[in-house]
């Protein structure tokens, strides 16, 4: 194949600026080949290099006493959870591919994040996802939504990993550019941590997994540009095609190979494929690497160097093996009926050298390519829309005169409604470790001894036909995790919205009985070249960072996804998604959100309404959007010190015993949280357990010492730092007094029981049969998708 001439037009087509191309010339001391140009294009894309965001990302807290592998070091972060056991976890995006081909885009997003986990030597044991779509009244949105959920279900179910948690938001801003953020978590022992580095001069380099095709070509570069109708059509070939059964085999073969002790380094071929895996492993080790493309398994005839190096075909791994141990690779991968090929060697040159057809087609300094992409300090400027946001008041918004109808509408809002249409397509029980499944504030997974990868000693004994050596027993561990971000909040106030995302995630963990140990984030934004967009990014990261520091949840890694905008539809709401992982020491402390018994007392922790907020918690609320059709006003403030006190107090109450349920107040406010506590328990797949509640928010509960708050603010305002708990009636006074002693406002507001949800204030009352509320909440999405 004749390579095209390198012209300014070709350089621009590859997403490189004239200055960047000049830097390439300076590095090479010559013009690049066509393949080298493509390699620089993908490795210097935002997706791989973070060239627009690296200075901002450095502001995150990344250190902690339990962190074994930190942010930016490897494919995923790793945190110690005691007894020599660790967890590896990360979240990443597959937004652009899912917008173009929703099923395969979402499926391969799941596959990619799973590979990031077992690349570290960990066995993947759980997954979650964070999704954003336009409104379901749009047929195209319904197609995207169905395709994405189907792709996630297909890959996770076939691979055999439980998808146990997630979130889905619907808003017009995501109409042209849905967001698909995938998270995976795995477990391993400390001595099983594997590095993605090409150590050992002279060590052979193996390609393992299926053959390379033309699918996924330059996908990283595609994800680092605005999505347009033209680019979407042109880049359908940039969407990978996944095979979850193949990935399962690759995972098991890699974990078995690691147990032999022959692996010097391992890296998955994710974004930028063979390019990324070779240059990054060499750069991390300070070595060089040479590979021969004629030895790379190929499933298409006459593939060019450019195509082989930039393909993002799935389920492929690069493994560096200790010299002399090549037979172990061949034996194990033959056993698993998987392709393998010895394609290269580790060198001391510091360069990535690629040969094809007897010629050198790439010769680039590995570190320059992997670690020294240009870094930009983008201009940031507050958006002019913020003036209107700050000026917004409730004066022109009539107070509710039908709170019962409003509550049903809010529960049917697709963002608030039950996501059972989604999670019923996922296997969330496979591997038998799921303790709290989808439907509560956070999921909980049990780490059992058989969850861990096989050790070297166990493997050696197995090969010798001997009993496995006795090892110290590992007590079951319980890991909780949740993912959150209210993009509307972030749009209306990026800093407070960022704080709110972390705070809600940690509040969900506290409601489950867990203490945060680490976090991972996925920053989804529009084009960073627009100062207003970059201001949103900087401010939201400032809020995220403060929240992570406050809750001692250091960031262990993550992903940046920019250019999420599409033509006249504009940019998405800024969506810095954050997932937080926590530990529960005692299974007796695992708590769920639904009320348990008739006659139990219902207690509110936190203030019913923030009187210092002129919008009384209504700014950016689901109520304003659903009932009044407006997304405006500064969202409720987040007091991080008050939040820490609330979470610590709640955990103390749970550990002391007596707390039967705990549910945080978020979208839809107090009335929605109370209703969810009544209707969210399932006793079988399609059988809910409904329990009513009678609640009085008048008098002390409404803080009547000042001017009476608006009725809609009491019912549906989203004042932060509030949790509803339930307990036996006899324990209510004791729990309230303990909370107050810790500095948390607390009051008994009602009693669980009956077949209605009744909520009374000084000025209004609603009373609705629980069955009606459940129907509106449970069936809303299914009806829209019918």
State the catalytic residues.
Answer: 47, 94
Q: Up-side HSE of residue 235: CA atoms within 13 Å toward CB?
A: 26
CA distances from 68 to 79, 86, 482, 527, 556 (A): 5, 8, 22, 34, 10
Starting at the edge strand found earlier in the chain, the sheet holding 77-82 runs 67-69, 77-82, 85-93, 179-189, 123-133, 163-170
* Residue 469 token pair: 């050596």
Please name which of 274, 271, 284 lies closest in space to residue 361, comparing C-alpha atoms: 274
Q: What is the DSSP letter of 719?
A: -
Please name which of 195, 156, 197, 149 lies closest in space to residue 170, comparing C-alpha atoms: 149
Backbone phi, then psi, for 147, in 5-degree steps? -65, -45
Q: What is the β-pairing status of strands 575-584 and 723-727?
A: unpaired
SS (H, E, C) 116-168: HHHCCCCEEEEEEEEEEECCCCCHHHHHHHHHHHHHHHHHHHHHCCCEEEEEE
Q: Residue 210 in contact with residue 253, Cβ under 8 Å?
A: no
Q: What share of the chain is helix, strand, coil (3-state, %, to 5)?
A: 40, 25, 35
Is 592 strand, coil or helix?
strand
Please name which of 177, 156, 185 lies closest in space to residue 91, comparing C-alpha atoms: 185
Region label for 649, one of left (φ > 0), alpha (ψ between -120 and 50) or beta (otherwise)? alpha
* Residue 581 token pair: 């992982």
Q: Is the dihedral of CA 392, 398, 403, 405 positive or negative?
A: negative
Q: Residue 722 in contact with residue 626, Cβ under 8 Å?
A: no
Q: Residue 297 in contact with residue 304, Cβ under 8 Å?
A: no
Residue where the block lists tokens 């300014």: 8
How far is it, in rounded angstroms, from Cα 376 to Cα 537?
A: 14
How far is it, in rounded angstroms, from Cα 314 to Cα 501?
A: 32
Please name which of 530, 607, 613, 526 lies closest in space to residue 570, comparing C-alpha atoms: 526
């Amino acid at each position: 194949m004749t390579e095209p001439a390198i012209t300014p037009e070709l350089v621009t087509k590859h997403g490189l600026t004239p200055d960047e191309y000049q830097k390439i010339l300076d590095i090479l001391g010559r013009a690049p080949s066509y393949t080298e140009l493509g390699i620089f294009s993908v490795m210097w894309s935002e997706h791989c290099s973070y060239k627009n965001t690296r200075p901002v990302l450095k502001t995150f807290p990344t250190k902690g006493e339990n962190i074994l592998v930190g942010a930016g070091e490897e494919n995923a972060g790793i945190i110690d959870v005691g007894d020599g056991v660790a967890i590896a976890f990360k979240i990443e995006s597959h937004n652009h591919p899912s917008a173009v081909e929703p099923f395969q885009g979402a499926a391969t997003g799941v596959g990619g994040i799973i590979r990031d986990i077992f690349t570290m030597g960990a066995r993947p044991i759980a997954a979650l996802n964070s999704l954003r779509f336009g409104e379901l009244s749009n047929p195209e949105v319904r197609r995207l939504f169905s395709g994405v959920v189907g792709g996630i279900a297909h890959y996770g179910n076939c691979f055999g990993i439980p998808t146990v948690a997630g979130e889905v938001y619907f808003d017009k801003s995501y109409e042209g550019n849905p967001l698909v953020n995938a998270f995976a978590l795995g477990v391993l022992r400390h001595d099983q941590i594997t590095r993605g580095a090409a150590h050992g001069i002279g060590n052979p380099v193996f390609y393992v997994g299926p053959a390379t095709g033309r699918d996924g070509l330059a996908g990283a570069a595609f994800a680092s540009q605005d999505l347009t109708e033209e680019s979407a059509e042109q880049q359908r070939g940039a969407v990978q095609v996944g095979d979850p059964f193949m990935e399962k085999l690759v995972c098991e073969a890699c974990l078995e190979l690691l147990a032999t002790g022959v692996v010097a380094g391992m890296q998955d071929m994710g974004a930028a494929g063979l390019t990324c895996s070779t240059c990054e492993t060499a750069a991390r080790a300070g070595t060089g690497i040479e590979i021969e493309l004629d030895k790379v398994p190929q499933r298409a005839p006459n593939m060019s160097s450019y195509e082989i190096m930039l393909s993002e075909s799935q389920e492929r791994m690069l493994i560096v093996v200790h010299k002399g141990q090549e037979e172990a690779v061949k034996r194990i991968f033959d056993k698993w009926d998987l392709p393998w090929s010895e394609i290269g060697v580790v060198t001391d040159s510091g360069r990535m050298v690629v040969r094809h057809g007897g010629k050198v087609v790439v010769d680039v300094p590995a570190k320059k390519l992997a670690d020294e992409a240009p870094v930009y300090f983008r201009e940031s400027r507050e958006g002019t829309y913020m003036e209107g946001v700050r000026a917004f008041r409730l004066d022109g918004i009539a107070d509710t005169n039908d709170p019962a109808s409003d509550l049903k509408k809010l529960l049917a809002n697709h963002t608030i409604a039950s996501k059972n249409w989604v999670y019923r397509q996922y296997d969330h029980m496979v591997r038998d470790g799921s303790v709290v499944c989808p439907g509560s504030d956070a999921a909980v997974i049990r780490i059992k001894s058989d969850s861990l990868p096989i050790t070297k000693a166990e493997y050696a004994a197995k090969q010798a036909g001997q009993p496995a050596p006795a090892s110290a027993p590992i007590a079951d561990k319980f890991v909780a995790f949740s993912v959150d971000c209210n993009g509307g909040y972030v749009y209306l106030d990026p800093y407070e919205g960022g704080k709110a995302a972390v705070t809600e995630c940690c509040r969900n963990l506290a409601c489950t009985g867990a203490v945060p140990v680490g976090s991972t984030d996925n920053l989804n934004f529009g084009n960073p070249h627009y100062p207003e967009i970059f201001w949103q990014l900087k401010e939201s990261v400032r809020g995220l960072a403060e929240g992570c520091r406050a809750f001692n949840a250091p960031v262990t890694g993550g992903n940046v996804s920019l250019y999420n905008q599409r033509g006249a539809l504009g940019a998405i709401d800024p969506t810095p998604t954050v997932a937080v992982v926590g530990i529960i020491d005692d299974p007796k402390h695992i708590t769920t959100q639904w009320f348990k018994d008739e006659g139990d007392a219902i207690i509110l922790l936190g203030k019913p309404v923030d009187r210092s907020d002129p919008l009384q918690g209504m700014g950016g609320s689901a109520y304003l959007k659903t009932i009044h059709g407006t997304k405006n006003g500064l969202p409720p403030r987040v007091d991080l010190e008050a939040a820490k006190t609330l979470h610590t107090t709640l955990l103390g109450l749970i550990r002391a015993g007596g707390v039967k349920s705990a549910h945080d107040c978020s979208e839809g406010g107090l009335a929605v949280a109370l209703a969810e506590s009544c209707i969210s328990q399932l006793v079988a797949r399609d059988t809910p357990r409904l329990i009513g509640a009678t609640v009085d928010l008048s008098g002390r509960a409404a803080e009547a010492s000042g001017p009476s708050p608006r009725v809609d603010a009491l019912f549906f305002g989203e004042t932060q730092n509030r949790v509803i708990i339930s307990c036996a009636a006899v324990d209510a006074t004791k729990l309230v007094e303990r909370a107050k002693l810790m500095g948390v406002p607390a009051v008994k507001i009602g009693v669980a029981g009956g077949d209605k949800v009744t909520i009374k204030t000084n000025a209004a009352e609603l009373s609705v049969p629980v069955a009606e509320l459940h129907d509106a909440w449970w069936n809303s999405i299914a009806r829209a998708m019918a």
